[in-house]
Chain A
Amino acid sequence: MASNNADMVSLLESKFGDKIQIQKDVLGTAAIIANNGIHYDVFKAMIEADEKTGITAITGLDFGANLGVYYHVHTTNQFFTIKAVVPTVDPKIKTIVDIHPGALFHELEVTDLFGIVFQGNEFDGHFVLSENWPDGVYPLRKNVDPTKVKLVPTPEREFNKPAEGREVKIIIGPQHPALLEPEKFSVTVDGETVTKVEPRIGYVHRGIEKTTESRTYLQDTYLVERVCGICNACHSYGFVETVERIFNADVPERAQYLRVISLELNRLHSHLLTLGHACLEIGYETLFQYFWRDREPIMDLVELTTGNRVYGSLMTIGGVRRDLNPEHVPKIKAVLNDFKTEKMPFFRKMYQDEPTLRLRMKDVGTLSREDALKLSVVGPVARGSNVDMDIRKIQPYAAYGEIPFNQIVYTDGDTWARMNVRLDEVEESINIIDYVIDHLPSGPIKIDLPRSVPEGEAIACIEAPRGELFYYVKSNGTDMPDRVKIRTPTFANIPSFLKTAIGESIADVPSNFVSLDPCFSCTDR
C-alpha cells in the first residue's frame, strides 16, 4: 500500500521511468505528465497500489493547438494530477471507464463541453448542454463565443422513446412534485422492479465555468457562490481558497476561523434541510415540518453572522468581509445549545427508533464499500458505506487542522446510514462552531491582494455538506481567470444512485435518491 507521497511517486518513477515526467508539489502532491495511452497505465498502477484511488475530476483545457485533459486523482490521503494532451483537430483519448466506472460522468462532460472523444466511451447527443444545442460546437473552447451560437430545433433522441415489451418507462421530471429542481430521470420498470435508470442532466446548466473567464476574480467570487443556493459558502470558499493558493497568500488566522463558522453553519442548515426532505419523500410530512421549523433559527444565525439569510458573501480573496460582533456571541451560543440539548435528542430518537423511517430507509439503496470506491462517491454517501473520507481530516483547510472533531462513518451503506451520518454531523458542526467561538484568535480579518493574479494554477478540495467539492483555477496573469473547473459532490454521487436503484421497488426510488442529497444546480453549473 502506497499510503504516503514518496511511495506513490517513487513507485510510478520506477515503473514508468522516462515515459512520464513528475512535477512535485504541482496541482496536489505531484503532477504526472503522461502521453495518451500512458495515462491509462499510470492510473491503473495507482489503483492497484492504493484501493482508495479514485477520480476527483477530469478537467478539459484549451491551449490553442492542443487540448489538455487533466485527471485529478485522489488516493488515501493525497491528490495527484495526470496531465495528458491531445491535438485540437480530431481529439481522441483512451477511456478509463473500464478500469474505474466512476469516471463515466466526468468523461461525458468533457466530451460535451470540449469535444474530446474518449475512445470506448463515445455517446450520441448532449450530456449537459441543451437538446437544441447544435452538434459540433463546444462552448468551453477558447475560439467559440457561445453567446452567438444559433440554436437548432430539438431533435428526437432515443432517450425519449417508450420501452418495448412488458417494461414500462416512467419519466420523473423535469417538473415533478418530488423534485425541487428540473432534471429528468427515466426509470424503466418491470412490474414494480426498477431495471434501468437513465438520467438527463443539464436543465440547470447556466455556463458558469465559461462565464468566469470573462469576469474579474472578485466578480467571480459572487458568481460561483451562486452555483448553489444551499452550499453557497462552500463554493465561494473553494474559489477564494484556490486563488489564494496561486498567490501563495498567508491569510490571517482569524479569517480562517471565521470562515469555519460560515462553512459549518452552511453544513448545519443544509443537513437539516435534507433530513427533513427525506421525511417528505417517504410521506412523513410532520417530521419534515419539525426539521424545517428548527432550521429557521440556524438561518437566523447565518443572517446574524453574514448579514443575509441565504447568500452571506462572507468570503473574499484574502480573508473575510465581516467580523464577528462580540454582542452576537451569546445569541449564537444560546441557539446552538438549545438545538443540541432540546431538539437533537428528539430527532435522534426519530431516526434511530421510529418504525416508519426504519421501514422505508433500512436496506434501501444499499451501496457496498467496493462499489463506493469504484464509483468514487464522496461525502456522506461514501461515509455511509464505510469509506472514511472526510477532506477536513485528510487535507485540512481553513482552520480545520486545529479543531478537534469526529469523522462520522457508518457501515450499513443504505439510505438509513447515509441519513444518520448527516444527523451525527449536525452535532459535530455545533461542537465545531462552539469550539471556534471559544478559541477565536485576534488579529486582522483580511489581507489585501492585487487584483491581477500571477500566472499559475491550483486546485482545492473542500468538504461541502454533500461531499468533496473540487475547484481548479488557472490564471494567465490578468485580472480574469483563464479556466475555472468546478466538480460538485452531487455530480460524483449520481452514478451510485443509478446502480443502487436497480432491482429495488419503484416506491423506494424517492427515498433512495434523496439520501444522496441531490443538488442539480450544483451538478449542472
Chain B
Amino acid sequence: MADAKTWARVKSPWVLHFNSGACNGCDIEIVALLTPKYDVERFGIKLEPSPRHADILLVTGAVTNQCAERLKRVYDQMPQPKFVVAIGACACSGGVFAGTYNTLGGVDKVIPVSAYIPGCPPRPEAIIDGCVKLLNAINPPKKKKRKQVNGIKEATKSEVVPVVMEVKQDGKQ
C-alpha cells in the first residue's frame, strides 16, 4: 500500500506555484513549462490552483515582508507529505535583492526547502531537471538487473533519459 502511494505521488505530482515577490522572470518560465514546447503535463505534473490539493510547492522570489506570512500560511494548508522547490536565485538566496530592506532573502528563511534550482531565471529545462531530481530522491529508481540479449546490454530507465535529452538539445541547435 505504501508503495502504491509513493508510486501515485511520484507519477503525478500536483504543483502549486507561489510568487513570494519575484520579478516575473521565473514565473513566466513556470508557465512556459506548461505550454506546448516543454509540456510537463506528459510527466504527470499538473499546475494546481489550491494549496489543499498540491504535493509540491514551487516558490519564486526573494520573499518580501508582506508575502512571508502568506507563504507560511499556504505551506501550512498543504497536506502531508509536502515538498518545497525554491526556483531562481532569489528564492535560493535572495539573488540580486540580497540585502534589500523589504526582503528576507530566500525561501528557507520561512519554510523548509527540499530542492533548490538556481538561475536568473532558470531555464525551463533546468526546472524540469530539478523536479525530476526531487522525484527521484523521493522514490529512488530501483536498480534492475541488466538483461543481456545477444551480448548487448538492455539500457535501464535511468540511462535512457539522458540520451533522449541529448538528442533534444542537438535537434535544437
Q: Do A and B come from one complex?
A: yes
| Residues of chain A with a CB closer than 8 A to B101's CB | 139, 146-147, 149, 207, 210-211
Determine whether the beta carbon of A229 is less than 8 Å from that of B99. no
Min CB distance A488 to B, Å, is: 12
Instruction: Determine the distance from Cα of A203 to Cα of B68 in the docked complex, in whole angstroms.
Output: 9
Among B86-127, those with CB < 8 Å from A are 95-97, 99-103, 120-121, 123
| B26-39 Cβ-contact flags toward A at 8 Å (1 or 0) | 11110110011100
Instruction: Determine the distance from Cα of A45 to Cα of B71 in the docked complex, in whole angstroms.
Output: 48
Q: Give the residue of B36, B64, B66, B96 whose beta carbon is less than 8 angstroms from that of A222.
A: B96
| Residues of chain B with a CB closer than 8 A to A299's CB | 32
Contacts A130-B102, A208-B100, A310-B121 known; A203 to B24 CB distance under 8 Å?
no
Instruction: Determine the distance from Cα of A228 to Cα of B25 in the docked complex, in whole angstroms.
Output: 7
Instruction: Determine the distance from Cα of A149 to Cα of B95 in the docked complex, in whole angstroms.
Output: 21
Which one of A156-164, A289-297, A350-358 is at the B interface? A289-297
Q: Give the residue of A149, A223, A309, A521 whose beta carbon is less than 8 angstroms from that of B96.
A: A223
Instruction: Determine the distance from Cα of A310 to Cα of B101 in the docked complex, in whole angstroms.
Output: 26
Contacts A180-B19, A229-B23 known; A211 to B65 CB distance under 8 Å?
no
| Residues of chain A with a CB closer than 8 A to B51's CB | 175
Determine whether the beta carbon of B99 is less than 8 Å from that of A228. no
Q: Does B165 belong to the interface (CB within 8 Å)?
A: no
Q: Does B74 belong to the interface (CB within 8 Å)?
A: yes
Q: Does B67 belong to the interface (CB within 8 Å)?
A: yes
Q: Does A502 belong to the interface (CB within 8 Å)?
A: no
Instruction: Determine the distance from Cα of A323 to Cα of B74 in the docked complex, in whole angstroms.
Output: 45
Instruction: Determine the distance from Cα of A353 to Cα of B164 in the docked complex, in whole angstroms.
Output: 42
Q: Does A405 belong to the interface (CB within 8 Å)?
A: no
Min CB distance A397 to B, Å, is: 23
Determine whether the beta carbon of B21 is less than 8 Å from that of A203. yes
Determine whether the beta carbon of B66 is less than 8 Å from that of A203. yes
Contacts A226-B96, A292-B35 known; A181 to B123 CB distance under 8 Å?
no
Contacts A130-B66, A206-B97 known; A310 to B102 CB distance under 8 Å?
no
| Residues of chain B with a CB closer than 8 A to A310's CB | 25, 28-29, 121
Q: Does B11 belong to the interface (CB within 8 Å)?
A: no
Q: Is the interface of B mostly helix, strand, loop or mixed?
A: mixed
Q: Give the residue of B21, B23, B31, B102 whose beta carbon is less than 8 angstroms from that of A129.
A: B102
Determine whether the beta carbon of A181 is less than 8 Å from that of B32. no
Determine whether the beta carbon of B123 is less than 8 Å from that of A309. yes
Min CB distance B147 to A, Å, is: 39
Min CB distance B96 to A, Å, is: 5
Contacts A181-B24, A273-B28, A293-B37 known; A204 to B61 CB distance under 8 Å?
yes
Chain A interface residue count, CB cutoff 8 Å, equals: 46
Q: Give the residue of B22, B67, B96, B103 whose beta carbon is less than 8 angstroms from that of A174.
A: B67
Name the residue in B22, B26, B51, B123 with the highest tally of chain A Cβ atoms < 10 Å from its Cβ: B22
| Residues of chain B with a CB closer than 8 A to A296's CB | 32, 35, 37
Determine whether the beta carbon of A293 is less than 8 Å from that of B69. no
Q: Give the residue of B18, B27, B28, B100 whose beta carbon is less than 8 angstroms from that of A207.
A: B100
Q: Does A415 belong to the interface (CB within 8 Å)?
A: no
| Residues of chain A with a CB closer than 8 A to B74's CB | 175
Nearest residue (CB) in A for B27 is A180
Q: Does A177 belong to the interface (CB within 8 Å)?
A: yes
| Residues of chain A with a CB closer than 8 A to B49's CB | 176-177
Chain B interface residue count, CB cutoff 8 Å, equals: 40
Nearest residue (CB) in B for A297 is B37
Nearest residue (CB) in A for B51 is A175
Instruction: Determine the distance from Cα of A149 to Cα of B103 in the docked complex, in whole angstroms.
Output: 12
Contacts A130-B102, A206-B97 known; A289 to B36 CB distance under 8 Å?
yes
Among A476-496, those with CB < 8 Å from B are none
Nearest residue (CB) in A for B22 is A521
Q: Does A232 belong to the interface (CB within 8 Å)?
A: yes
| Residues of chain B with a CB closer than 8 A to A146's CB | 101-102
| B1-31 Cβ-contact flags toward A at 8 Å (1 or 0) | 0000000000000000111111111111101
| Residues of chain B with a CB closer than 8 A to A151's CB | 65
Determine whether the beta carbon of B18 is less than 8 Å from that of A175. yes
Nearest residue (CB) in B for A154 is B69
Instruction: Determine the distance from Cα of A423 to Cα of B31 in the docked complex, in whole angstroms.
Output: 21
Q: Does B70 belong to the interface (CB within 8 Å)?
A: yes
| Residues of chain A with a CB closer than 8 A to B31's CB | 180, 292
Min CB distance A153 to B, Å, is: 11
Q: Give the residue of B19, B29, B95, B97 whose beta carbon is less than 8 angstroms from that of A181.
A: B19
| A112-154 Cβ-contact flags toward B at 8 Å (1 or 0) | 0000000000000000011111000001000000110101001
| B45-59 Cβ-contact flags toward A at 8 Å (1 or 0) | 000010100000000
Min CB distance B105 to A, Å, is: 11
Min CB distance B145 to A, Å, is: 41
Q: Does B84 belong to the interface (CB within 8 Å)?
A: no
Q: Give the residue of A129, A203, A211, A311 whose beta carbon is less than 8 angstroms from that of B121.
A: A311
Determine whether the beta carbon of A147 is less than 8 Å from that of B99. yes
| A255-290 Cβ-contact flags toward B at 8 Å (1 or 0) | 000000000000000000100000000000000010
Nearest residue (CB) in A for B18 is A175
Q: Give the residue of B17, B24, B64, B100 whose beta carbon is less than 8 angstroms from that of A211.
A: B100
Min CB distance B27 to A, Å, is: 5
Instruction: Determine the distance from Cα of A493 to Cα of B142 in the docked complex, in whole angstroms.
Output: 55
Q: Give the residue of B35, B64, B120 whose beta carbon is less than 8 angstroms from that of A204.
A: B64
Q: Does A182 belong to the interface (CB within 8 Å)?
A: yes
Given contacts A132-B66, A149-B101, A292-B36, 14 further A-B contacts (CB under 8 A): A176-B49, A177-B49, A180-B17, A203-B21, A203-B64, A206-B64, A222-B96, A229-B24, A229-B25, A229-B28, A230-B24, A292-B31, A309-B121, A311-B121
Report 30 cross-chain contacts, Cβ distance below 8 Å, ordered by A residue: A129-B102, A130-B64, A133-B65, A139-B102, A146-B102, A147-B101, A181-B22, A182-B19, A182-B21, A182-B66, A202-B66, A203-B70, A205-B64, A207-B100, A211-B97, A211-B101, A226-B95, A226-B120, A227-B23, A229-B23, A230-B24, A230-B28, A293-B35, A309-B29, A309-B121, A309-B123, A310-B25, A310-B28, A310-B29, A310-B121
Report the 7 A-B pairs with minimum CB-CB distance, sorted nearest first: A229-B25, A177-B49, A146-B101, A130-B66, A292-B35, A229-B24, A130-B65
